[in-house]
Amino acid sequence: MRITSLLLVALFSIFQLKAQISTIPPVGPKALGMGGVSVMNVDHWSVLNNPAGFATATDISGFVSYRTIFDFAPFNTVSAGAVIPSGFGNLGVGVFRFGDDLFNTQMLSFSASRKIGIMALGIKASYLQLNIDSFGSKGVFVADIGGVADLTPELTFGAHIYNFTQATLSAETNERVPTVIRLGLSYQPTNEFTFVIEGEKDVNLDPDLKLGIQYQLIEKLHLRTGFSGLNNTHSFGGGLELRKFVLDYGVSVDRDLGSTHNFGISFHPSK
């Protein structure tokens, strides 16, 4: 009886963790290598996170990414996206799929951002669909809003709210898609060194404090590391530029549960 109860608790915990992870877009390999900081990304990876982050993009770019959590196949995520500059502001599209045939999630999102003075603003609309084998599927619309402000040439502030509309998955149980608030500061004293601090608060969970560092070792190579206080995880990663392509990798290490790996490749046709 005790073994059965423990198994049921373990299965319930895994399902809860899986449901939580599956409804929040992946941060991408660059952010993962810096402790999971995502609100201050000012490149194409922000299509999955703070939509204000790609407001300054001047060229078309696209990316694909693969993430595996705890070396457990049902937790794998594949994502892709693109940024398209325009005269009225930049446009972004992103998609990801999490899970396996028994439990999976897909999200398709469209976002727009624009830089006005020192402030970049962005908004994103997404359609999130959850599928459970033998139980059917459920789809909801999720909205994000974000901003990035250049306070000084070295200091930048960012804010992002994921699912500020508090979309509901089930009216019967009042189960909602997580609403996550992120605030961050980026300090870049030189072109080679960037330090980021970010606070994250899921309205239903404890707050998390993340620290991330990026260092440009040579012209085409970036090294990254970071730390997440809530989960007590350390992260490492790097990025390598190869003409029109950029390779990114990040790993987050949890001493109790294992590692999360994220691989990504970006394409910049105009380079």
Give domain limits for the chain: 2-267
Give the CATH architecture of domain 2-267.
Beta Barrel (2.40)
Whole-number pLDDT of residue 31: 94
Q: What is the pLDDT of residues 109-152, one digit of tens each?
A: 999 999 999 999 999 999 999 888 877 888 999 999 999 999 99
DSSP track, 207-255 = -EEEEEEEEEEETTEEEEEEEETTTTEEEEEEEEEETTEEEEEEEEEET
Percent of the chain with pLDDT over 90: 65
pLDDT average, residue stretch 157-164 = 96
Of the chain, the end-to-end C-alpha distance in Å amounts to 63
Whole-number pLDDT of residue 12: 35
Does position 15 have pLDDT exceeding 60, yes or no? no
Whole-number pLDDT of residue 11: 36
- Confidence category of residue 101, pLDDT binned at 50, 70, 90: confident
Q: What is the pLDDT of residues 22-69, one digit of tens each?
A: 788 888 999 999 999 999 988 899 999 999 999 999 899 999 999 998
Average per-residue pLDDT in the chain?
A: 87
pLDDT average, residue stretch 243-255 = 92
Q: Please state the pTM of the whole predicted model.
A: 0.87
DSSP track, 4-65 = HHHHHHHHHHHHHHHHHHHTS----HHHHTTTT--TT--SGGGGGS-GGGGTT--S-EEEEE
Residue closest to 55 by CA, chosen among 107, 18, 92: 92
